[in-house]
Amino acid sequence: MTSASPASSRLIATVDALRTALAQSPDVLSHTLGGTIDEESAAAAEADGVPREFLDFCRVLDGASCGPSVQLFGLEEAEEHQFYCEPVAGSLLPLSPEKLYCVGMVHEAPVFLDRAGGGVLGAPHAGPDWVDAERFDELAPGVTAFFLDRLATYDAYRRLAEVDDELVEYDDWLKLLRRAGLAG
């Protein structure tokens, strides 16, 4: 039997810390963290074309609602948002369901998993006008890295979510990161 990779071990430890902090935080919305998907659901989803990397992530954490402007979808919600992968007339973005899989939203802009390279792509700086962006930025080399390095890292999440100084104490995700010992 092989051991878990360092990234998956770190993901499991991070999610465990977040779940523990959430259980002890009645002031934080309980739907912040999703559950997990089972092997049967994962196999069926993979047969339907859901990327394995996303399914591996969902086996540990089936979505996270980090705040009003940042969300990483669980499997069911991701399946409902694949219309974002469809080409849009006049857009310069390389939209294609064969090439992309929508895994979340940041500032009303979809975040995609590149099916070929595995990177997480998006144009969050463009917000709801994301289709007018000239290109996607690589937000992370993969879904696990996107969660660990951009969402479960206090300063990186704060920058991505654009939480200003006056609102830090009111942001539930930042509270949860602090309580889980992930504030830096």
pLDDT band at 1 (very low <50, low <70, confident <90, very high): very low
The average confidence (pLDDT) of the chain is: 92
Average pLDDT over every residue of 149-175: 90
Q: For 7-43, write each residue's pLDDT tens digit.
A: 689 999 999 999 999 999 888 776 689 999 999 999 9
pLDDT for the residue numbered 67? 84
What pTM was computed for the model? Answer: 0.92
pLDDT for the residue numbered 5? 63
Q: Which domains does the chain carry? A: 6-174 (3.40.1580.10)
Is the pLDDT assigned to residue 45 strictly greater than 90?
Answer: yes
Q: What is the distance between the alpha carbons of residues 123 and 107, in angstroms, rounded to a whole number?
A: 9
Is the pLDDT assigned to residue 3 strictly greater than 70?
Answer: no
Q: Which among 108, 111, 110, 112 has a CA at the least distance from the CA of 128?
A: 108
